[in-house]
Amino acid sequence: MTAYAIPPIDPLRISFSAAHGTMTPEGPLLTRRMSDVAGLFADEDARRRAADGDDPVVYTVAASPVPEAAGELPQSLTTILPGAVSGEFHMTKGHMHPDPQGEIYLGLSGRGGVLMYDGTRTEWIEMEPGMIGYIPPGWAHRSVNVGDEPYRFLAVYPGSAGHDYGWVVEHGMGRRVYRDGASYTLAPFSAAG
């Protein structure tokens, strides 16, 4: 083994299905339902009613077996299901990397976008199949499904980056993404209430 190889990960081939949002070999699978995203949407009462009803899945994250460890490049497939709460599109929780590192997203299916916030500026990158979105170090990021079918993307990030979801709760994301007819609009951020 060469000096720069880090055990226990051996070289491996990972296949994925863009149509199903799965990876082989598979790692952990995270499922976030409406009950798991309290405080995410501006209309918390509407979110709570949806969670108390059939508690729909908002998004899933299927990870590869590559660990989140220094020197590794974990990958995951996120699938955000279509839908909205009081007009605000389904989205991921969003996070900041405590160890400031860049990340890339590759659009696989559906229509979505990456909402980014550095504490002052908000940026939006529209995503579709075949598009790569680059998230620079120091930017909180959240993905949003702005279409009527599942939006799916592949993420690749440094294993030491970490995920600070509390930063987004404390600072917000600068904007919210709402349905606007057949399209979407970015509105000023307001705290959930």
In a domain, 1, yes or no: no
Task: Report how far residue 151's alpha carbon sits from residue 92's, in angstroms, rounded to the nearest whole number.
Answer: 11
In a domain, 193, yes or no: no
CATH number of the domain that residue 50 is part of: 2.60.120.10
What order of strands is seen across the sheet that includes strand 57-63? 29-33, 57-63, 75-80, 151-156, 103-109, 132-135
What pLDDT sits at residue 151?
98
Residuewise pLDDT in 10s, the chain (193 residues)? 345 555 568 899 999 999 999 999 999 999 999 999 999 999 999 999 999 999 999 999 999 999 999 999 999 999 999 999 999 999 999 999 999 999 999 999 999 999 999 999 999 999 999 999 999 999 999 999 999 999 999 999 999 999 999 999 999 999 999 999 999 999 998 877 6
Provide the number of structural domains found in the chain. Answer: 1
| 17 residue type, one letter | S
Q: Considering only CA atoms, which of 74, 81, 77, 75 is closest in space to residue 61?
A: 77
What pLDDT sits at residue 107?
98
Q: Which domain holds residue 170?
A: 15-188
| 37 residue type, one letter | V
What pLDDT sits at residue 6?
59
Extract the tokens encoding 87. 């007009």
What pLDDT sits at residue 10?
87
What pTM was estimated for this model as a whole? Answer: 0.94
What pLDDT sits at residue 50?
95
